[in-house]
Structure 1
Amino acid sequence: MNSFERLEDEACKDGIDVFLWKFQSERIKGLYSDGIIGINERLETSVEKTCTLAEELGHHHTSVGNILNMEDLSNRKQERQARLWGYNKLIGLTGIVNAFESGCQSAYEAAEFLEVTVEYLQECIDCYRDKYGICTEIDNYIIYFIPNLAVMEKV
């Protein structure tokens, strides 16, 4: 079972219906409304669909009301929370450490290991940098976000 199928299964258990949909605009990757998630069928890979599904599940778990107007600060905050939920679900600090431990040497290798797109991984790292600052600790590791992503094991 791949990551997309695992997320679909989780959505089903939460009573959420997931559909592939041909949206009018190619800019729309996915939408969530009232227990239904639409994923743009034009997304080329299951990895792209997985990243989109994670964010839309994040909206289910964190968002309230219609947040389509990004001019509204409250809506932007809800969008950020939904994305953070998705980042934590698919990657998380533990995932970054696991990628390091498995020998990933580049963003491409880490993204492949984590089953996310390189762009999604970079957005996650940027979000974590905003949240944690220069670095953060988890278990026996220090994850640095500035100047670049680096993981060091504490001795």
Structure 2
Amino acid sequence: MLYEKLLKEAAHLSIDVSEQNLLPTTHGLYADNTIWINKSLSTHIEKRCILAEELGHYHTSSGDITDQSDVRNRKQELLARQWAHHKLIPLERIVDAHKARAKGRYEIAEFLGVTEAFLQAAIDRYLEKYGLYVVLNEQYAIKLDPLGVVEIFQP
């Protein structure tokens, strides 16, 4: 269901999405309003994470960035990945997982509809951006290492 929602978003942006046999090390590619997802990815959750990152390239990248030895291309890759993290795991969704009593990374990732690796990458990015914790809407403190949520009570 969640993968299909991203497919609809891509279609709304006039982006064609095609599942193709790609090199085993290539999970997805974006060029000229077309996204290719590696057909060999085993779950819709994996495909959703890759599709989100490729949509991130649509929103944040320009030109051919396949040469990752160029620092400018690596920066664009990072921007696309960050876009995907914010798209699939905004801080509010971490609070939602807490409210749903999801415990541990596996349950949280399952609740959010992402892989554990994608969840960890998003947490790592939030750690770089905010430090060990971030306060959300003056109601929740999200501790990023280890991951946890604390409700803030106002007197």
TM-score range, shorter chain: over 0.9
State the AA in 2 paired with 1:126.
D
| Residue of structure 1 equivalent to 2:48 | 50
Displaced runs of 4 or more, over 4 A: none
Task: Choose from 31, 34, 43 the match for 2:32.
Answer: 34
Deviation at 1:129, TM superposition (A): 0.8
| Residue of structure 2 equivalent to 1:6 | 5
Deviation at 1:151, TM superposition (A): 1.1
State the AA in 1 paired with 2:96.
N
Task: Give the Cα separation in 2 of the matches to 1:142 and 1:79.
Answer: 30
Instruction: Figure out how many residues of one structure are paired with residues of the other and give that number.
Output: 152
**Unpaired segments of 5 or more residues in structure 1?**
none
Deviation at 1:126, TM superposition (A): 0.7
- Residue identity (%): 45
Residues 47-89 of structure 1 show CA distances to partners (whole Å, capped at 9, x for unaligned) of 0000000000000000011111122221111111101111111
Deviation at 1:130, TM superposition (A): 1.1
Task: Give the Cα separation in 2 of the matches to 1:122 and 1:142.
Answer: 18
Give TM-score scaled by structure 1 length: 0.95
Task: Give the Cα separation in 1 of the matches to 2:122 and 2:147.
Answer: 11
Aligned Cα RMSD in Å? 0.8
| Residue of structure 2 equivalent to 1:151 | 149
**Unpaired segments of 5 or more residues in structure 2?**
none
| Structure 2 counterparts to residues 46-85 of structure 1, below 5 A | 46-85=44-83
Task: Give the Cα separation in 2 of the matches to 1:137 and 1:69.
Answer: 38
| Residue of structure 2 equivalent to 1:20 | 19
State the AA in 2 paired with 1:11.
A
Task: Give the Cα separation in 2 of the matches to 1:137 and 1:64.
Answer: 34
